[in-house]
Amino acid sequence: MEYRSEFTGSPVVVMIEGVLTFDDHERFRELVGTLADQAPGPVVFDLSGLTMIDSAGIGMLIMANDRIVKRGGGLRLRGVSGQVAKVVELSRIEQLIPIG
Amino acid sequence: MDVAHSQSEHHEPARDRILIVDDQASSRLLIGSVLEAAGYTRLAYAGDGVEAIEWLAANTADIVILDIRMPRMDGFEVCREIRGRLALDLPILVQTGIQEADCRVDAFKVGASDIVSKPLNPGELVSRVRLHLERRRMIGRLQRYQDRMEDELRAAQSMQLALLPGPEDVAEILQPRGAAMTAFYRASHMLGGDLWQVFPVDETRFAVFMVDLSGHGVSAAINAFRVNMITAGLVQERAEPARWLAALNRTLVPILPVEHFATAFYAVIDAGAGEMRYAVAGAPPPLILRGDGRWEELSGRGLILGCLADAEYECFSAQLGPQDRLFAYSDALYEDFENPDASLGAEDIAMAVQAEAAAGSDAFSARLLTRLFGRPDAEFRDDLTFLLIGLNAS
C-alpha cells in the first residue's frame, strides 16, 4: 500500500493505492497518526487506485474511521471498484463509513 | 519471555566444555593454559582429527578449537564430519597460520564458525571463545523457547479442533432432520479464526453457523473460543436467524478491539418443508446448487459483526429442494492476494462443487481442493472453512 496526500484543505484527501492487507498495518497506522496531527476536519480516502483489500484492510479502515470520528472529524470513502467494491458491498461497511 | 536476558549473566566459564585439537603438544598446552587462566577448566585434548572425532562421538563439547594441518585427518575433514554427522550448531574455531591465507575461505566453506590466526594472541583467543559460547547459549535459549511455544500452540490447536463438531455430532443432529453435511476446516497458522457449528432447533429444523474472525493466529483463535462460548448461550434465539446474529453482535462489540470484526452466516433449515431462513453478516454469500445443475448465490447481506452495537440484521429465505445442496465457504477459498487474477469467481466455485458433489460425499473436500487448486493440501494465506449440506440424505 502507498498513500499520497497534501494534508491540507477541507476535506483532506488521501489517495490510497495498491493492495491493503495485514502486511500494511505499520504503514497504515503511520497514516492515521499523521492525520491525527495534521487533519482536524473531514477526511476523504480516495480508493480508486486500490486494487485489493482483505479483512485486515477493512479493519484498518474501521480503525481510521473510529479515530477520525472520535476527534470530531468525519471519514468518507470514494472511488471503490473491482474486488474492493465487492468486499465493501459484502461487509456493508457503508453503515459505518459513508461511501461516495 | 527471558530469551533477551543479558549476555554477561550467563557467562560461567567453569561450565563450558572445550575440545582442543592440535598435533603439536606445545600448541595444545599453550591454548589450554590461556583458557584455564580465563576460567575455563573443562578442557579436553585431541592430537589429530581421528582422535577428535572419536572423542566427539562419545562426549559433548560446547566449542572446538581446531588446527588445520594435522596427520591422519586434517581440520577440513574434521569440520565436514562434525557438520555432516555430529552437530550442526557446535561452534568450531579454526586456527590458521599467516602463510595459509587460502585456507581461510576453505575453512568457512566446510563449516568453520570463525578463525584465529597463529601465532595465537591470548586475548583474542579468549574473546572469540567467549563470543561463540555466548552465541551458542543464546541460540539454545531461543531454541528451547521456540520448542515450548510450539508445544503450547499444538496443545491449543488440538483444543481448537475439539471445538468443531465431529461427523458423529453432525449426523446426530442432521440425520433425523433429513440432511447430511460435509465440513472442511484448515487454519493457515496452526490456530485460526474460523469456526462452524450446528444446533438442533426443534424436531424438524436445525441451524448451521459459520464465522470468520478477522486476523489469524492466536488472537483470532481466542476470539473464536469466545464466540463458541457466546453461541452456547444463544438458545432462545435459535429459530430466528436475524435475532440470533443481532444478539451475537451485541455481545461481540464490547469484546473485539476496534479494528477487529467477524463475518458470519447463520441459517435455519427445514428439510421437510424445503425451506431455509438465514441471516448474513459480511460473509461470502453461500451458494445453492440445484439438483438440475443450476446454481445461485444467496442474495441476503448484512453488516459485519462486532462494529456497531445496535446493528440490525435482516432475515432472508430461500427454497431448498430435496436434490439441492447448500455450499457455504470462507473468503480464503476464492481470494488470491499473491495472484489476484487467479482469484475464483462464484461460478468457478459453483461448477467445481457441482461436479465433485455429484461424484459422492467420499473425499469430497480433497477432490474439491484438487479440482480448484491442483492438490488437496494447497496452502492458503487465511483460514479456510467450507460446508456442504445436502437434504434428504438416506
- Judge whether B220 is closer than 8 Å to chain A, CB to CB: no
- Judge whether A70 is closer than 8 Å to chain B, CB to CB: no
The CATH number of B164-391, from 3.40.640.10, 3.40.50.970, 3.60.40.10, 3.40.50.1100, is 3.60.40.10
Return the closest-CA partner of residue B212 out of B149, B286, B297. B286
Alpha-carbon distance of B247 to B298, in angstroms, equals 22
What are the cell numbers at A1? 500500500
pLDDT score, position B235: 96
B73 SS3 class? coil
Distance in Å, alpha carbon of B315 to nearest chain A alpha carbon:
15
- Judge whether A69 is closer than 8 Å to chain B, CB to CB: no
pLDDT average, residue stretch B121-134: 95
pLDDT score, position B11: 60
CATH code that applies to domain B8-144:
3.40.50.2300
**Looking at this predicted complex, what is its ipTM?**
0.92
Beta partners for residue B268, in sequence order: B207, B277
Nearest by CB to residue B259, choosing from A60, A90, A92, is A60
Among the residue ranges A34-48, B92-106, B309-323, the one predicted with the least confidence is B92-106
pLDDT average, residue stretch B119-133: 94
Nearest by CB to residue A52, choosing from B301, B308, B337, is B337
Complete DSSP assignment for B187-247: -TBSB-SEEEEEEE-SSSEEEEEEEEESS-SHHHHHHHHHHHHHHHT--TTTT-HHHHHHH
pLDDT score, position B4: 45
pLDDT score, position B188: 86
> What b/e readout covers B149-187, taking b as 16+ CB neighbours within 10 angstroms?
eeeebeebbeebeebbbeeeebbebbeebbbbbbbbbbb
B70 SS3 class? coil
The overall average pLDDT reported for chain B is 91
Which residue of B337, B344, B382, B384 to mutate against A (max A Cβ within 10 Å)? B337
Distance in Å, alpha carbon of A80 to nearest chain B alpha carbon:
16
Q: Has residue B394 got a pLDDT over 80?
A: no
Residue A82 lies in a domain: yes
pLDDT score, position B341: 78
Residue A60 lies in a domain: yes
pLDDT score, position B93: 96
pLDDT score, position B103: 82
A contacts of B384 (beta carbons < 8 Å):
none
B291 SS3 class? coil
- Alpha carbon dihedral B277, B290, B363, B356, in 10-degree steps, equals -150
Q: How many domains does chain A have?
A: 1
pLDDT score, position B325: 95
What are the cell numbers at B350? 459453483
CB contact under 8 A, B215 and A56: yes
CB contact under 8 A, A59 and B311: no
pLDDT average, residue stretch B356-381: 90
Bridge-based pairing state of the strands B17-21 and A43-53: unpaired
pLDDT tens digits along B24-58 = 999 999 999 999 999 999 999 999 999 999 999 99
Q: Which residue has the cell 476470539?
A: B223
Q: Which residue has the cell 453432525?
A: B170
pLDDT average, residue stretch B121-144: 94
CB contact under 8 A, A59 and B382: no
pLDDT score, position B380: 86
In whole angstroms, how far apart are CA B247 and each of B209, B242, B306, B351, B377?
A: 14, 9, 11, 35, 36
Residue A100 lies in a domain: no
- Judge whether A89 is closer than 8 Å to chain B, CB to CB: yes
CB contact under 8 A, B303 and A21: no
A97 SS3 class? coil
| pLDDT band, very low/low/confident/very high, at B215 (cuts 50, 70, 90) | confident
- CATH code of residue A86: 3.30.750.24
Counting Cα atoms < 13 Å in the Cβ hemisphere of A10 gives: 5
pLDDT tens digits along B85-124 = 877 789 999 998 766 777 888 899 999 999 998 888 999 9
- Say if residues B164 and B196 touch (Cβ distance below 8 Å): yes
- Judge whether B260 is closer than 8 Å to chain A, CB to CB: yes
What are the cell numbers at B243? 435475532
User: What are the percentages of helix, strand and coil residues in chain B, rounded to 5?
Assistant: 40, 25, 35
- Judge whether B282 is closer than 8 Å to chain A, CB to CB: yes
- For chain B, the domains span 8-144, 164-391
Identify the domain containing residue A51 by its residue range: 2-95
Please state whether the peptide bond connecting residue B376 to the residue before it is cis, i.e. omega within 30 degrees of 0: no
B22: Cβ contacts below 8 Å, ≥ 6 apart: B28, B31, B45, B47, B65, B67, B70, B95
Q: Has residue B3 got a pLDDT over 70?
A: no
Complete DSSP assignment for B241-276: HHHHHHHHHHHHTTTS-TT--EEEEEEEEETTTTEE
Higher-confidence residue of B9 and B286: namely B286
CB contact under 8 A, A91 and B263: yes
> What b/e readout covers B252-289, taking b as 16+ CB neighbours within 10 angstroms?
bbeebebbbbbbbbbbbbbbeebebbbbbbbbbbbbbb
User: What's the one-letter identity of residue B143?
Assistant: Q
CB contact under 8 A, B215 and A83: no
| pLDDT band, very low/low/confident/very high, at B5 (cuts 50, 70, 90) | very low
Alpha-carbon distance of B267 to B280, in angstroms, equals 9
- Judge whether A63 is closer than 8 Å to chain B, CB to CB: yes
CB contact under 8 A, B308 and A58: no
| pLDDT band, very low/low/confident/very high, at B342 (cuts 50, 70, 90) | confident
Q: Has residue B127 got a pLDDT over 50?
A: yes
Which residue of B253, B258, B314, B343 to mutate against A (max A Cβ within 10 Å)? B258
pLDDT tens digits along B293-309 = 999 999 999 999 999 99
Residue A9 lies in a domain: yes
- Judge whether B259 is closer than 8 Å to chain A, CB to CB: yes
CB contact under 8 A, B311 and A83: no
Q: Has residue B73 got a pLDDT over 80?
A: yes
Q: Has residue B196 got a pLDDT over 90?
A: yes
